[in-house]
Amino acid sequence: MRQCRLKPGQWGVCRARKNENGELVCKNYGQVSSLALDPIEKKPLRRFYPGSKILSVGSYGCNLRCPFCQNHEISMVKPEMAEDHYLSPKELADIAKECREKGNIGVAFTYNEPLVGWEYVLDTAKSVKESGMKNVLVTNGTASPEILERLLPYIDAMNIDLKGFREEYYQKLGGSLSAVKEFISRAAKTCHVELTTLIVPGENDSVQEMEEEARWIASLNEEIPLHISRFFPRYRMSDAAATKVEHIYSLADTAGKYLRYVYTGNC
């Protein structure tokens, strides 16, 4: 999405792609830093095969720079410092199949931003589909429409971070609200979509902003679930105060005027 113009030897902002001899190379392809069988609700997905489990995989790298990142140990790590190992798309799909007896329904691409290495997501998702299993994408939605179109035939569900509902807030994080809105609008026409907004005190926590956000989501489909999550001090905001629980519930009530399914998280 950033469409970085890199000189030979230069890394992209995402720390996952590099210009090697004039060719843009995806350096985190197949480099797995995290692998776990999680409850589907942890993604979070509340209305997609509830009660099931999904094999969750992450690499390293991210195309945003959120100072409150919950997984900064892998998403913001320098490639040479990443603790990872290689798994081919087929190997990962085979592991997913082996986990079926434990309630696994497929693979979730998560933990870091999976779309900085979208080629691996695409190749693996094809193998998972061939096995008759599901693909889930947990993403910030900061990707080009062209990449999204290539992925959509193989993705069954997404949880997309909607960081806030002001363009200036997204600019602080290195992204674009309008681009994420376009991503959400397109994805919601093809696969199951749930959204998550992390409420950061003093940044995106006004009732007015939540009302505008919920009204826009409802204009797409009032049955799109929204997860409103409580912020805890992390990463470069380790000295900040956690969001008050009662404010999360208040914002959930506001969103509930427009949306059928609103969930609170980290409360």
Residue 135: closest CA among 210, 213, 49: 49
% of the chain surpassing 90 pLDDT:
77
**Which two three-digit tokens encode residue 40?**
């589907």
% of the chain surpassing 70 pLDDT:
93
Residue 228: closest CA among 238, 204, 241, 219: 204
Q: Where are the domains of the chain?
A: 17-265
CA atoms of 86 and 57, how far apart (whole Å)? 12
Report whether pLDDT(6) > 80: no
Crossing angle of helices 207-220 and 177-187, rounded to 10°: 30
Question: Beta strand pairing status for 134-139 and 85-86?
Answer: unpaired
pLDDT band at 238 (very low <50, low <70, confident <90, very high): confident
Q: Provide the terminal-to-terminal Cα distance of the chain, rounded to the nearest Å.
A: 33
Q: Tell me, what's the pLDDT at 139? A: 98
Q: Tell me, what's the pLDDT at 24? A: 79
Report whether pLDDT(3) > 70: no
Fold designation for 17-265: TIM Barrel (3.20.20)
| pLDDT tens per residue, range 144-160 | 999 999 999 999 999 99
CA atoms of 19 and 27, how far apart (whole Å)? 10
Sheet containing 104-109: order of strands: 34-39, 53-58, 104-109, 134-139, 157-161, 192-199, 226-230, 262-265
pLDDT band at 246 (very low <50, low <70, confident <90, very high): very high
Over residues 108-120, mean pLDDT: 95
